[in-house]
Chains A and B, each alone.
Chain A
Amino acid sequence: MNSSIQLELFVNRVMEELEKKLSESPREPMIDHSSTETVHASDPDVVTVKVPQPKWKEGLTELIESTPARIGVWRTGTRPLTKEMLKFRCDHAAAIDSIYGEVNANLLDRLGLFAVETRYGNTENYLKRPDMGRIVTEAGVATLRQACKPKPQVQIVVSDGLSANAIDSNLSDVYPSLLDSVDAYGLTAGTPFFVKGGRVAVMDHIGELLEPEVLVLLIGERPGLVSSKSMSAYMCYRPRNGTVESDRTVISNIHPGGTPPVEAGAYIGTLVLKMLERKASGIHLDV
């Protein structure tokens, strides 16, 4: 018996079927729906080699592909080339704008999130006085008391933090995936909402108000040049006044080039389940 012939047959048939299918696919030009910006400062797919006479050309491509660091950039005298320098400045501009930006109100509406504010006042004060971003305003407290289900099993809160851009870019992927995960584990979520001008420890104030078992805060991170769209998820079992940072569990760097948003949402649900099972979070939760 020659089994290899059968095997070959199998493989060939699968290949034929698929190739046929692929050739029938429509051939419209690819449209990039991910961005409407006109400046594409960093295009990760294109590796351009600028070193004029590298000792090993293929090697240079390998080096450049091995790291997001800006290498193989060459120089004029001892200074960077113009386009490289401007690319850096573009990325910095994106980072700055995301700090001073505002979260898209339509997005919050679409996801059914109402908004309250912390005492941050304005962006300058927010940056100088992190303590004020940890307390919800009196009006906000009243709203939460009235609108939110008290003592929920899982309370989800969203905040712009240091990057409104992070929320705009990732929330519509992370949030529904998290809800699905919570649901799949048979857990129940409380009334979700958005906090403008929040710092991580605003979790404690909200914890005091609503007394959730577990609180998940999805918050914009300090923007970097690689991404100004990076979001973090802070999770805490029974956050209250006096909770220390090491009691929080964190998944950071959530954006399409980092921790994948949809998968992060699903995994946050797993972490929440573990926190509820073990009645702990942060360094007390071994994952």
Chain B
Amino acid sequence: MDPSWITSTGIDIGTSTTKMIVSRLKLARTSSALSLPRYEIAERQLLYASAIYNTPLKGDDEIDAVRLWDIVSDEFGKAGISKGDLKTGAVIITGETATKANAGKIVHLLADRSGDFVVATAGADLEALLAGKGAGADRRSNGTKGAVANIDIGGGTANAAIFQRGKPIGTVTFRVGGRLIRIDGNGTILQVSSSLRPWLEASGYRLEEGMSITYVDLKKICQSLCRTMLDYMSGIAIPSKDETVRALLLGKPLLEVPRLEECMVSGGIGRLMNERAPLTLSETAIHNDIGPLLAHALKEALANYPFRWVKADETVRATVIGAGTQSMIISGATVHLDPKLLPLRNLPVLKLEITQNLLDHPVNLEDFFAETMRSGANLYDTEASPPFALALSGMPILGYSSLQLISEYIVLSFSRYFPECGVIAVICESDFAQALGQALQRRIGPRKKVICIDQVRVEHGDYIDMGEPISGIMIPVVVKTLAFQSRVEVTGSFEPDDEGTR
């Protein structure tokens, strides 16, 4: 089959700015004619990048959906995109605007008016990963021996993603951003974000609204802020021993800080690093915040660490480009499903690891499935169809009899704990979805539906979206990663199993 191109969009709605891009993704067969079919995204092209808009708000943090739609539809027009053209896309809602109410509204609006969007939320980890990919840190790390970090720094948070040899190995978030301290051109402090206060206190700084501050003192604070962050990133400071690091970290620290070879900075601060350094308070306060000064403090601070600072491919648009080009993967092409059931959004993942040991002891295997389904029934809505996606990992190759055994226990336990569910969804890490799906269907009967896809790697606590099939057999999938094992989502995001977004 000839490679086919699909059009994708990414929309990044942040507290302060909104931007969108349009890209082309090339889906190409990556297996030989003598193998099972397999398709992947072979190429990504950025077709259009919008201007950067102020996010239209009603009140403090409620997005004005009507005005937002005006911006988006206007930009689609400029990009020459009409509703039917879009096959996939990602909307990322970040910062304080990432509330359930906002997200629900926007998802409905966009889905109704401009085709099907696969993703509709973000957490700090996903945001960091998408920004890192959009900034080019993942590709960059293919050419270095050590790890490459991208820190995406906006108004309120710094989301760092670390890549090694092309693979993401960790994300971490700091309370570092350009708008955490707001000042005017005379050095009067207009506002100090509550998010930053613990660090200010731990570092011995006293800042109150209405106080006046000199350029030199403000610069010292910015330098100190950068130092705390980079000390952590370089492994010099350890949270358990350093109160300032603890105060700066938002959510859990990395399991282990890898040795960084390079570091890049994206986001608004990344862009400001490429501009002229502010030399006075009035030059600093052009947007009534510390952004320009923080950017240059960071640039100077980076010179003192053992990793190289390299320019990001993209700065302010890194996240949106990541969202529009990097969020989707393609399932294996031998699957079992009824296309009418798609798209499915925000399915929580319940993961099981099949081991040879379990296969050798069918009684244990049966218990294992039953216990998993029981805990699933406690966690999820037992009447939703499907209530969750069961992910199977572990055995790369399963024999026919093992597969029959597994399908038997899945159907038994599912029917017991989810008797009202009409659809069961299974995601296999290895290539056996069609065979397993066919075995499940034989057992579960024609009245119920089976969705079984494969070659998608997910973890406990991930959420997954499955789009409508492209060219009949390519199922676009977005895995919303919440965690690198131990790390759990901490910043605001709307409730992922919100009924309204299914």
Contacts and interface: CB of A to CB of B under 8 A. Distances in A.
Contacts of B314: none
B393 to A, nearest CB: 12
Interface string A244-287: 00000011110010011111111100100000000000000011
Contacts of A14: 350, 375-376, 379, 460-461
Nearest to A183: B442
Contacts of B368: 21, 25
Interface string A108-121: 00000000000000
B438 A260 contact: no
B489 A18 contact: no
A191 interface: no
Interface string B359-378: 01100100110011001101
Given A1-B100, A11-B460, A17-B371, A267 B400 contact: no
Contacts of B438: 177, 180-181, 184, 266
Contacts of A58: 145
A15 B36 CA distance: 34
B492 A2 contact: yes
Contacts of B493: 3-4, 7
A3 B494 contact: yes
Nearest 8 CB-CB pairings of A with B:
A11-B461, A17-B375, A3-B495, A266-B435, A266-B434, A252-B34, A262-B435, A256-B397
Given A251-B34, A260-B431, A18 B375 contact: yes
A124 interface: no
B348 interface: yes
A26 B361 contact: yes
Interface string A1-25: 1111011101111110110011001
B36 A6 contact: no
A270 B375 CA distance: 36
Contacts of B372: 17-18, 21
Interface string B19-43: 0000000000000011111000000
Q: Size range of the interface on A?
A: 35 or more
Interface in A89-121: none
Interface string A29-46: 011010000000000000
A30 B461 contact: no
Contacts of B348: 10
Contacts of B334: 263, 266-267, 270
Contacts of B435: 177, 180, 262-263, 265-266
Interface of B: 1, 33-37, 99-100, 123, 145, 165, 334, 348, 350-353, 355-358, 360-361, 364, 367-368, 371-372, 375-376, 378-379, 397-400, 403, 430-435, 438-439, 441-442, 460-461, 482-483, 488-496
Nearest to B363: A26
A7 B460 contact: no
B100 A3 contact: yes
A15 B65 CA distance: 37
A176 B460 contact: no
A250 B34 contact: yes
What is the predominant secondary structure among interface residues of chain A facing chain B? helix
B375 A13 contact: yes
B399 A262 contact: yes
Contact of B403 (A28, A56, A262): A262
A19 B434 CA distance: 29
A7 B431 contact: no
B96 to A, nearest CB: 12
A285 B476 CA distance: 25
A237 B37 CA distance: 20
15 contacts: A3-B492, A6-B495, A15-B461, A18-B460, A21-B367, A26-B357, A176-B400, A177-B403, A177-B435, A184-B438, A252-B35, A259-B35, A263-B36, A263-B432, A265-B400
A17 B334 CA distance: 32
A259 B434 CA distance: 13
A287 B165 CA distance: 35
Among A13, A62, A180, chain B packs the most CB atoms within 10 A around the CB of A180
A58 B259 CA distance: 13
